[in-house]
Amino acid sequence: MAECTIPTLTTMDEVQRKSVLPSDYRADMAGLKQLDLKPPILELIRRASSRLPQDVIDALVKGRDAEEEGSRAFNTLNDMVKNILLADGHVTPLCQDTGTLIFWVRHPYGLSQHKVKQQIRATVVEATQRVWLRPNCVSSLEGKNTGNNLDPFHEGHPVVHFEEWEKSEIEVAIMLKGGGCENVGAQYRLPDVTIGAGRDIGGVRKAIIDAVVKAQGQGCSPGILGVAIGGDRVTGYEKSKEVILRKLGTPNPDPKMDQFEKEITNDLNTLGIGPMGYGGKTTVLGVLVEEMFRHPASFFVSISYMCWSSRRRVMTIGANGDVSFD
Partner 1 sequence: MIRLTTPISEDQARQLKVGDEVLLNGKLVLSRDMGHKYMKEQKPEWLKPILKGMVIYHCGPVVKKNADGSWSFVAAGPTTSIREEPYEADVLDTYQVRGVIGKGGMGKKTSDGLVKTGAVYFHATGGAGSLLAERVKRVVDVHMLEEFGSPEAFWVIEVDDFPVVVTMDSHGGSLHEIVLAQSQERAKALMAK
> Measured from the CB of residue 154, what is the shortest distance to partner 1 in angstroms?
19
> Measured from the CB of residue 28, what is the shortest distance to partner 1 in angstroms?
35
> Measured from the CB of residue 133, what is the shortest distance to partner 1 in angstroms?
8
CB 170 within 8 A of CB 105: yes
**Chain-centre distance of CA 78, in angstroms?**
21
CB 281 within 8 A of CB 72: no
Output the CA angle 98-178-241, nearest 5 degrees: 120
Q: Which of 274, 285, 288, 301 binds partner 1 (CB under 8 A)?
A: 274
Site map for partner 1, 9-48, x if CB under 8 A? ----------------------------------------
CB 41 within 8 A of CB 171: no
- Rule CB under 8 A: say whether 59 interacts with partner 1: no
- Rule CB under 8 A: say whether 304 interacts with partner 1: no
> Measured from the CB of residue 29, what is the shortest distance to partner 1 in angstroms?
35
- Rule CB under 8 A: say whether 189 interacts with partner 1: no
3-state secondary structure 273-285: CCHHHCCCCCCEE
Q: Which of 9, 21, 125, 138 binds partner 1 (CB under 8 A)?
A: 138
Spatial separation of the C-alpha atoms in residues 183 and 149, rounded to whole Å: 19
**Chain-centre distance of CA 36, in angstroms?**
25
CB 181 within 8 A of CB 216: no
CB 286 within 8 A of CB 60: no
- Rule CB under 8 A: say whether 309 interacts with partner 1: yes
- Rule CB under 8 A: say whether 76 interacts with partner 1: yes
By CB atoms closer than 10 A (0-12, 13-18, 19+), residue 310 is: buried
Mark the segment that binds partner 1 (CB under 8 A) among 21-29, 38-46, 92-100, 226-234: 92-100
> Measured from the CB of residue 69, what is the shortest distance to partner 1 in angstroms?
16
Q: Can you give the binding site for partner 1, defined by CB under 8 A?
A: 72, 76, 79-80, 82-83, 86-87, 90, 92-98, 131, 134-136, 138, 143-145, 147, 178-180, 183, 195-196, 206, 209-210, 213, 216-218, 220, 267, 270-274, 276-279, 307-309
